[in-house]
Amino acid sequence: MVKKEKTSNAAKILRNRYVKGDPERKASVEAERLNAQIARMIYDLRGDAGLTQNELAELVGTTQSVISRLEDADYEGHSLSMLSRIAEALNRNLSVTMTARAPEAG
């Protein structure tokens, strides 16, 4: 008899209950995680530069509402072109990587 691993980690419990074994849900969670990570990165870098959304928008050549959308974790339209423009405006290098996926757990 296989003993179930006990955990009190809420993220693990939710992942096991709602994502484990469902490739579509797993892909959806990963996409949302990436969107949130990009949004947070833009927000943090803008804040570190001491810029408002409007000031960054002016440097990038867009509007404040576009910057606001890019900083929203629910936004799914991030483009390399816009990320490159933001990196340039903030005197940063843009780096994109692809990594191996973790093997599917049990």
pLDDT of res. 63? 97
Rounded to whole angstroms, what are the CA distances from 12 to 3, 17, 35, 62? 17, 8, 21, 40
Poorest-pLDDT segment among 16-20, 52-56, 63-67: 16-20
**pLDDT at residue number 106:** 46
Query: Is the pTM for the entire model greater than 0.95?
Result: no
From residue 96, give the alpha-carbon distance in Å to each of 23, 24, 38, 79, 84: 24, 24, 11, 12, 11
CA 57 to chain centre: 20
What are the sequence ranges of the domains in the chain?
Answer: 18-89
pLDDT at 84: 97
> Which residue from 10, 92, 97 is spatially nearest to 48, judged by alpha carbons?
92
pLDDT at position 60 over 60:
yes
- Element at 80 (helix H, strand E): helix 80-89
CATH of domain 18-89: 1.10.260.40
Residue labelled with tokens 């050549």: 61
pLDDT: which is higher, 72 or 2: 72
